[in-house]
Chains A and B, each alone.
Chain A
Amino acid sequence: KAGVTQTPRYLIKTRGQQVTLSCSPISGHRSVSWYQQTPGQGLQFLFEYFSETQRNKGNFPGRFSGRQFSNSRSEMNVSTLELGDSALYLCASSFGTGGNQPQHFGDGTRLSIL
């Protein structure tokens, strides 16, 4: 059974640009959550999508947005990139919605802002 797939693995962008990250969940999983991991702040929840609807949102500015498609694949977008957006972005999928579900994580996308 294929795991969670995130693309691309690495990205280098400059300030002010925008970026789109992609996540394909495990087959049959309908929930996709996104997390930002930085050395200073640790792992922080960005948002969760279930059946194409945003179910939960973390405390991030509106520059961070996401969506989910009918096949459960998800994308997150960050606009007007700032240096502080440099981080490992992790996607996780689960069968059901909510933080009580065991989540299966992808390898992450490492985003570097120059």
Chain B
Amino acid sequence: SSELTQDPAVSVALGQTVRITCQGDSLRSYYASWYQQKPGQAPLLVIYGKNNRPSGIPDRFSGSSSGNTASLTITGAQAEDEAVYYCKYRDSSGYHWVFAGGTKLTVL
């Protein structure tokens, strides 16, 4: 199975926009999905497919993809958005799902 890479940590000022990226060859074939995980909690799906938000996810969360890079953008970051964000994708076989290493987002 192939691998995806994410920056280990990113910070953003309160109310500003931040982009979290995920890179890997499999992203040329499959959309990534994005999960938010806060300490002591189970993960939460925030973006899937081309740019879809599950019910209850604020519209400040959006997704995009270009070439081998998928991005999660938070427009107007809030304090409650501080969390680890994981990119998930299918490998080239389509059989295996893989989570990237996660990006810890700090809201300053």
A, B bound = no
Q: Which residues of B contact A (CB under 8 A)?
A: none
